[in-house]
Structure 1
Amino acid sequence: MHGLHLTADLTDCRCDPAWLTDAARLGAYCRSAVADVGLQAVGELFHSFGRPDESAGPAGVTATILLAESHLCVHTWPELGAVTLDVYVCNFGGDHSARANALMQGLQELFQPGHVQSHRLLRGQPASVDS
């Protein structure tokens, strides 16, 4: 159950706007990025959100890849120039932390954020006991 959970909130993204609105394009990138860092995709879902009033511009997308090691989720808000990233790897059978870090770094580079708020959580660590 030991694992690494990385999250990042990206704002002021300066990437090509299509990365924030095109689910198929973003999904293909995520699929490739997962393979490039050596993680194993076992399922995927890429979804474009619609707006009742199309004059408000395109809505965001969610790209989710289920990994043998756990998951990757990307959520975009094009109207805000914002993205949230979530990479979690279980380290059962081997330490996948370097792969998770590389995946997160590549995604951040794709979106070219002006600001990043990131968090790193070690999951399933034994509780410390104070004596």
Structure 2
Amino acid sequence: MKGLHLTADLYRCRCEALWLTDAQKLGEWCMAAVTAVGLEPVGHLFHAVPATAKGPGGVTATVLLAESHICLHTWPDERGVTADVFVSNFGGDHSAKARGLMFALVNRFQPEWTEQRSLDRGEEE
């Protein structure tokens, strides 16, 4: 069960609006970012959330990894994003790859500020 769980709440993102609303574009970028850091995608779902009276709908993007998962939710009306990266360290330590992926995610959205957390999961062997 040993692994690393990273979360980030991104506020007032300064990226182009399409990164917060275009499920296909964000999904393609997520897949490329996952492979760029050396993680292995095994499945994915990129869902466009319908627009509301507040404005355009956001995106839920999930990539299942051989090592675990990443998940993003965008909030275009608030220009916000929540990001979740979890890697199991079964068979090797993937922590640096997880941190590299989170770094790429944060840079993609260019937030004015973030709240990031890191949680070591499972017991030491």
Using the size of structure 2 for normalisation, the TM-score is 0.96
The partner residue of 1:112 within 101, 110, 113 is 110
- CA distance in 2: counterparts of 1:88 and 1:7, whole angstroms: 9
CA deviation string 1:44-87 (max 9, x = no partner): 0000011355xx43111010000000000010000001000000
Show the counterpart of 1:33: 33
Show the counterpart of 1:16: 16
CA deviation string 1:29-55 (max 9, x = no partner): 0000000000000000000011355xx
Structure 1 unmatched runs, 5+: 127-131
The verdict on how the C-alpha distance between 1:52 and 1:105 changes in structure 2, with shifts beyond 3 A counting, is closer
Letter in 2 for 1:37: V
Show the counterpart of 2:7: 7
Show the counterpart of 1:64: 62
Say which SS state the counterpart of residue 35 (structure 2) adopts: helix
Letter in 1 for 2:12: D
> How big is the alpha-carbon RMSD for the aligned residues of Structure 1 and Structure 2?
1.3
Segments ≥4 residues shifted beyond 2 Å: none
Alignment of 1:41-120 (within 5 A): 41-51=41-51, 53=53, 56-120=54-118
Show the counterpart of 1:122: 120
- CA distance in 1: counterparts of 2:22 and 2:100, whole angstroms: 23
Give the total of aligned pairs: 125
Structure number, greater radius of gyration: 1
